[in-house]
Amino acid sequence: MKKSKKSLSALLVPDYIFDTYRDITPEFLSSIGIKALLIDIDNTLAPYEQAEPDEHIRKWFASLSEHGIKAALISNNHPPRVELFNASLGLDAYPDCGKPKSAGVLRAMEKMGVSTEHTAGLGDQLLTDTLAVHRLGMISFIVPPIKDKTSAFFKFKRMLERPYIRKYFKSHSAQKTNNPIIERTWKCKR
Ligand SMILES: [Mg+2]
């Protein structure tokens, strides 16, 4: 497995930012050669307090599956949360992943039988979700947090992310988004 030699700054700028996970379609994934997705749960698919997937989430996973896109859940949250969330989805799921470490990511890919060039990671945090997959040279998708925690620690983490989100939008100036959560989370004037 070839590890990325990118600078830390390049490792933290995501490859794509979407308004919501639902904007990531099987057609888009196929168009960029992605056959498998490794997906964070908290604030990417659902807020922390939502224990089970809603209809939108179930439909989205069904559509990925219908198009032959493999999916697994990779979460830093603990087994009870991840297992309950996954109960009706029945995906491969990896709790206590320890992102930005890559061990959990590699374990998930090995089980799915996919390689780094055809796999992408989806999450809401650059310092865990983006870094974990970029370290392995994979593509990183970011969505703004559905309902961010308001603790000082989380605000601090979002502040650290700001320059990398701004760098992304600087090089993707044609991308139009009117998502107020992006502006609020990363103080991006769009
Ligand atoms: Mg998250």
Q: How many CB atoms lie within 10 A of CB 18?
A: 19
Domain assignment present for 161:
no
Residue 126 Cα, ligand 1 centroid: separation in angstroms? 10
**Residue 7 is encoded by which pair of tokens?**
């600078």
Beta bridge partners of 71: 37
Distance, in Å, from the CA atom of 147 to the CA atom of 158, rounded to the nearest integer, reads 13
How many domains does the chain contain in total? 1
Domain assignment present for 174:
no
Domain assignment present for 111:
yes
Query: 111 near 139, Cβ under 8 Å?
Result: no
Domain assignment present for 183:
no
pLDDT for the residue 122: 98
Going by the DSSP 8-state scheme, the letter that residue 3 receives in this structure is P
The share of the chain scoring above pLDDT 90, in percent, equals 82
pLDDT for the residue 33: 97
Enclosing H/E stretch for 56:
helix 55-66
Assess whether the previous peptide bond of 163 is cis (omega < 30° from 0): no
Residue 126 structural domain: 8-147
Sheet holding 92-94, edge to edge: 16-17, 139-142, 119-123, 36-39, 70-74, 92-94
Residue 77 Cα, ligand 1 centroid: separation in angstroms? 9
Give tens-digit pLDDT for 106-125.
999 999 999 999 999 999 99
Domain assignment present for 121:
yes
The residues near 106 (Cβ < 8 Å, ≥ 6 apart) are 1, 136
Where residue 48 sits, what CATH number does that domain have? 3.40.50.1000
Domain assignment present for 134:
yes
Domain assignment present for 132:
yes
Residue 95 Cα, ligand 1 centroid: separation in angstroms? 12
Residue 102 Cα, ligand 1 centroid: separation in angstroms? 16
Residue 140 Cα, ligand 1 centroid: separation in angstroms? 13
Over 70: is that where the pLDDT of 5 sits? no
Give tens-digit pLDDT for 162-184.
999 999 999 988 787 778 889 88
Residue 123 Cα, ligand 1 centroid: separation in angstroms? 6
Residue 48 Cα, ligand 1 centroid: separation in angstroms? 9
